[in-house]
Structure 1
Amino acid sequence: MALTSLLPTEFDALRTDFAPRWERYHRYHTLDGERRRIPAHGERANATLPGTDTKLFFLLTYPKTNSLQQPQAASFGLSPTRVSRLAGPLLGVLNQALAARHLLPVRDGAPLAQRLAAHPDQVFTCDGVACGIPRNVDRAGQEAEYSAKKKSTP
């Protein structure tokens, strides 16, 4: 869960949508996105990331490392160039699988508020990082922006 933000049951459920979509994409397209002249019959025995489980795990850990290719390359024994080539097509297929499950990220607050209001659980967890706001360097600017009181936002 620390690496993908998914429980094992959630991972398995997502894999059921991801696997057939990836196999269909791989059958007719190369990693560069070009159409194959002859459809592929299956994955090669010496595949870089063997199996759809490994591909999905690779892909779900990619955003958790802030899309840095060096940690991904080191973790999976790949070159950073190969990580970049694999991430593009895999992310497209993952977005299709998430869309099929109606799990794509919401880009506007209004639909999110509607979905949360209708959700049976009214307590939600948020996986985020608190980061400080840099203070203004000149004294007059600090006085204008900072009251020295800790305020909680409603």
Structure 2
Amino acid sequence: MYYDQIRHRHSQVLAATGLTPVEFDALLVTFKYHWDEYYSHFTLEGKVRQRISYNRKTSVLPLIQDKMFFILVYLKTNPLQELHVVQFEMSQPQANRWIHLLSEILRRTLKTLGELPDRNSKRLIHILQGCEEVLLDGTERPIQRPLDEDRQSACYSGKKTHSIKNNLLCTNNLRIVWLSSTYEGHVHDKKICDEEPLLLPRGIRLWQDTGFIGHRPDGVEICMPRKKPKGKELTAVEKQENKRISGIRIKVEHAIGGMKKCRIVKERFRCHKFGFEDMVILIACGLHNFRIRHKMSHITN
């Protein structure tokens, strides 16, 4: 399966990669730069190159657009590697090597374009200067049941599944500006904020849900729904206020939904390589931010 075979079928490109052909071409320029930079210094196995080498037309992924198409299809559709190798006519070890190599190239591409969310919560006070309000929420991803007993206990979320989770912060235009580290499923959203305290500009409004009760950064206006008291009911006024708050907080749910267009961070995660679960959600957020920026620039023009 090669990109040139479907590039003129816009709906198929969007379904396979999560990007329109125009967005694909815009991302490809920087992706090619980072691929050329890597391949001029290292072999596909990651060893330092001893002599100049050129891309071979006989490669399983001969063109740069085929390489980016390969990794975007993997992230968007989350196929079994056995199915992915059938689609791209390669062996399973080849597919595994290409997946991890091209994921890193894509991460560098999105970093160069400035689309990756920040991972350092202490820099937010500078990043969000001039921003009036932000929205905070947590997102959870199912994983395969770990074989290790201690990790099983740590990843059991209490929802009859094993999972990993992150907190994220987005702005009103749905851009994800901060992403926490990846934690085991039993860790509470508020606990993640305790581990990575947010430093926000004074006076900014922070919208959050009842999973963050007790989270109050200094100098920040907190807006969150009122939790129903045990054994009692909320008043009609309180219910109406909760409805109003939920109508504003829905933006962060839309941002999470945009990030989860990459099904690898929506469906059960199957890869066991250390750190890869954190990389794919970072890339998914970066791709979401790239689509948001591209659409906004298109509307402006």
Name the SS for the 1:15 alignment partner: helix
Q: Do structure 1's residue 109 and structure 2's residue 121 form an aligned pair? A: no
Between the aligned partners of 2:97 and 2:171, the Cα distance in structure 1 is 36
When residues 109 and 45 of structure 1 are mapped into structure 2, their CA distance, relative to the original with a 3 A threshold, is: closer
Q: Do structure 1's residue 72 and structure 2's residue 84 form an aligned pair? A: yes
Question: Which has the larger displacement, 9-18 or 85-94?
Answer: 85-94
Between the aligned partners of 2:173 and 2:50, the Cα distance in structure 1 is 44
CA deviation map 1:90-125 (0-9, x unaligned)? 111110101112222566423x236638xxxx9757
Task: Trace 1:4-153 onto structure 2 (pairs within 5 A).
Answer: 4-40=17-53, 42-66=54-78, 68-104=80-116, 108-110=167-169, 112-113=170-171, 116=174, 126=257
Name the SS for the 1:109 alignment partner: strand
Between the aligned partners of 2:167 and 2:52, the Cα distance in structure 1 is 40
CA deviation map 1:26-70 (0-9, x unaligned)? 121111111111132x21131110110000000100112325211
Structure 2 alignment gaps of length 5 or more: 1-13, 119-165, 176-249, 268-301
Between the aligned partners of 2:21 and 2:29, the Cα distance in structure 1 is 13
Higher strand residue share: 2
Between the aligned partners of 2:44 and 2:89, the Cα distance in structure 1 is 18
Once the 2 structures are TM-superposed, how far is the Cα of residue 74 of structure 1 from its aligned partner? Answer: 0.5
Output the aligned Cα RMSD.
2.8
Q: Is residue 19–residue 52 contact of structure 1 (8 Å, CA) maintained in 2?
A: yes
Name the SS for the 2:74 alignment partner: helix
Structure-1-length-normalised TM-score: 0.70
Between the aligned partners of 2:91 and 2:117, the Cα distance in structure 1 is 29
Name the SS for the 2:106 alignment partner: helix
Between the aligned partners of 1:11 and 1:95, the Cα distance in structure 2 is 15
When residues 95 and 34 of structure 1 are mapped into structure 2, their CA distance, relative to the original with a 3 A threshold, is: same
When residues 115 and 100 of structure 1 are mapped into structure 2, their CA distance, relative to the original with a 3 A threshold, is: farther
Name the SS for the 2:50 alignment partner: coil
Between the aligned partners of 2:95 and 2:21, the Cα distance in structure 1 is 24
Structure-2-length-normalised TM-score: 0.37
User: What letter matches 2:18 in structure 1?
Assistant: S
Q: Is residue 65–residue 71 contact of structure 1 (8 Å, CA) maintained in 2?
A: no
Between the aligned partners of 2:25 and 2:117, the Cα distance in structure 1 is 20
Name the SS for the 1:45 alignment partner: coil
Tell me the residue number matched to 1:149: none
User: What letter matches 2:64 in structure 1?
Assistant: T
Aligned residue pairs total 125
